[in-house]
Amino acid sequence: MRKILLTLVSFVGLSVLVACGGDSSHTSVPPAPSTGNNAGFSNSSLKGTYVFSASGFNSSSNYNYAVVGVFIADGAGNISSGTRDTVNDNGGQSLSEPITGTYSVNQDGRGQAVLNGNSGQVIYRFVMQSTTSAKLFQISNTSDAVGRILGVPVVTPALISAAPYIVRLDGEDTKKNPYGAIGALTMNGPVAGTIDENDAGTFSPQLTATGTTTTTGPNGRGTLTFTTSTGTHNFIYYPVTSSHFEMISTDKNFFLFGYGDQQTALIAASPAAFGGDQVLNLAGYSTNGAIVETGRLTLDGAGNLTNAIEDYNEAGFFFPSVAFAGTYTVGANGRWAANLVYSTSTLSVVGWQVSTSQSVVLTTGSTIANYSVLETGTLRAQTLGLTTASISGEFAEDLSGIFVGTGNVESTGNFLADGAGNLSGTFDSQTPFADNTDVSQTGLYSVLANGRSAGTVGSVPVVFYTVNADTVYMISSDPNRLYQGKLEKQ
C-alpha cells in the first residue's frame, strides 16, 4: 500500500526532505493567517521548546515519509534552532538535520511556521489548542500531511520513569504492506515489555520485547531498540516530557512512526474495574481499501459491550448508525481484548490502557472469509448527560482524510460554538487542487443523549461523537469523504 491514510496518523506533524525525494522548492509561502475569532492567541503563545512529529505521502515521488524533531520558538516569531530526523519508505534518510525558521500566530490560534534546513524549506499551517499543543498540516504542491506540535515545559534529558510506556506504531513492513502495533515497554535502563502487532492482516499477540535506550543529543533526543520474535526495530525518539515521547524508525526497510505515553498507576485490571461509557476511533485499511470508523459503547463491568453504535466509511461506502454488541476481557497489566459483534461479522481488537480513561487500540482479525482489516486508534472515556449548551466557546478544528477518486484533504481551523448549535470561524485547508487559507465558514452541531449527533463543519456533513465538554470527535457522513477529526476546546 503506497499511500498511508492521513487519519491513521492524526497524532503527528510533518516535514519534507528534498534529499529524500520530497518537494518543497516549488511551494510559495502564503501570507500569514489573519481575520477570525479572538481566542486570545499571539506570537507569544508559541514560546519555548516544542517537539513535532509527522508522516505523510509524496505524490511526485510516490513514497510515504515521516519526521520527528524539535525547535525552539522565541515568542516573537523566530525559530532560533532545532533538529529534525526524516525517513521515507524508499530508504531515504536525513538524520539530525539542523533547522531554523519563522512563525506567526493569529488571534484565533491559527498559525503558520516555515522551517528551513539543508534539505529544503517546509511550510506548515496549524491551529493551537493551547500554548503546549497544536495540530498542523503541510502546505505543499506534492505532499499531503497532518500532524501536531507538542510543548516541552521542562526539557528532560532522558526517559527515567519506572512505569511502562504504552506505545503505538503505524507504517509499513519490509514489503511495504500496512503494519500496526501497540504494547507496553519499560524504558528506564534495559527495554522490556510486550508488543501486539498486525502485519498486513496477520496478527501476532503478546510478543516479548527486549532492547536498549540511549540519549544521544540535546533536548533528550535518544535512540530506542527492541527485538521480538518477528524482528528488531530501531528508533529515534524525542521526549516531550517524562510521560510522552514521539518516535520514528531508522530501519531503511521497515518504515514505522509512532509515540509512547507513560502508563499511570490508575489502570483497570478486571472487567468490573474497566467499565463505563467510551468513544472508539479507528482508521486504517481493509481488503476493500481505506477505512475510518468512529463510535461509542458501554463497558458494563461484567465483560459485555452494550449500547454500542458506530459510523464507518469503507472505500467510499458510508454506513451510518451501525449497532453492535460484544464481550471483553482485561489483564492485570492493562491489556484488554474485545470482540465487536455485528449482524453478519465479528471484529476483534486488543487495547492497552494508558489510564482508565484512555487506551490505544489495534484490530486483530475478522470472521469474514478472505477479508482482513488493519486499523489503529484510541478508546476514550465518554461523559454522558451533556447537552448542546455544554459545547460552548472557542474550539480548534482538525479534519483530514481521502476524497474518493481525488486525493488527500487536510484542514485546521478555529470555530466558536455558541452553545445553541451554531459554529462560526475560519479555517485553512489543502486539497489536491488548491491551498485555501483564511476561509470563513459556519457549521451546525448538537448533543444527543448518547453523544452521537449529525451536523456540518463548513460544507462537510459530519457525525459528532462527544467525548466530553472539551472534545468532540467527527467523521464525515459523505461517502466520498473518508474524513475524521476533532473539535478541541482552546
CATH number at 30 reads: 2.40.128.120
Same-domain pairing of 29 and 136: yes
* Average pLDDT of the chain, as a whole number: 91
Coil vs helix vs strand at 8: helix
Using CA of residue 366, residue 371, residue 376, residue 381, what is the dihedral sign?
negative
> Tens digit of pLDDT for each residue in 68-127?
999 999 999 999 999 999 999 999 999 999 999 999 999 999 999 999 999 899 999 999
| pLDDT exceeds cutoff 60 at 392 | yes
Q: Are residues 172 and 243 in the same domain?
A: yes
User: Looking at the domain assignment, is residue 217 inside a domain?
Assistant: yes
d(CA 459, CA 442): 8
Tell me the per-residue pLDDT of 432-489, one tens digit each, with 9 for 90 and over.
888 999 999 999 999 999 999 999 999 999 999 999 999 999 999 999 999 999 999 9
Domain termination residue (choose one: 359, 381, 403): 381
How many Å apart are CA 480 and CA 294, to the nearest integer? 16
Q: Which domain holds residue 292?
A: 276-381
The CATH number of whichever domain residue 424 belongs to comes to 2.40.160
How many domains does the structure of the chain reveal? 4
Chain segment 164-211, per-residue pLDDT in tens: 999 999 999 999 999 999 999 998 779 999 999 999 999 999 999 999
For residue 332, tell me if it sits in a domain.
yes
**Cell output for 372:** 482482513
pLDDT for the residue 242: 83
pLDDT for res 445: 98
Strand partners, 412: 398, 428
In a domain, 160, yes or no: no
End-to-end CA distance of the chain: 36
Q: Say if 248 falls within a structural domain.
A: yes
Among 381, 404, 438, residue at a domain's last position: 381
pLDDT top residue among 366 and 220: 366
The pLDDT value recorded for residue 25 is 40
Higher pLDDT, 221 or 46: 46
Cα 206 from Cα 2, distance rounded (Å): 28
- Evaluate whether 92 touches 25 at the Cβ level (below 8 Å): no
Same domain, 121 and 14: yes
Say yes or no: 236 and 142 in one domain.
no
321 to 296, 298, 383, 444: CA distances (angstroms): 10, 15, 19, 19
Domain stops at, among 381, 412, 443: 381
Does residue 226 lie within any of the structural domains? yes
- The rounded distance, in Å, linking the Cα atoms of 188 and 184 is 13
At residue 8, what are phi and psi to the nearest 5 degrees?
-65, -20
What does the DSSP 8-state code read for residue 18? Answer: T
pLDDT of residue 143: 86
Give me 225's grid cell: 531498540
227-277 pLDDT, tens digit per residue, is 999 999 999 999 888 889 999 999 999 999 999 999 998 999 999 999 999
Query: Rounded to an integer, what distance in angstroms lies between the CA atom of residue 305 and that of residue 422?
Result: 33
CATH of the domain at 359: 2.40.128
Segment 373-392 mean pLDDT:
98
The reply to whether 375 and 434 lie within a common domain is no
Residues 306, 347: one domain?
A: yes
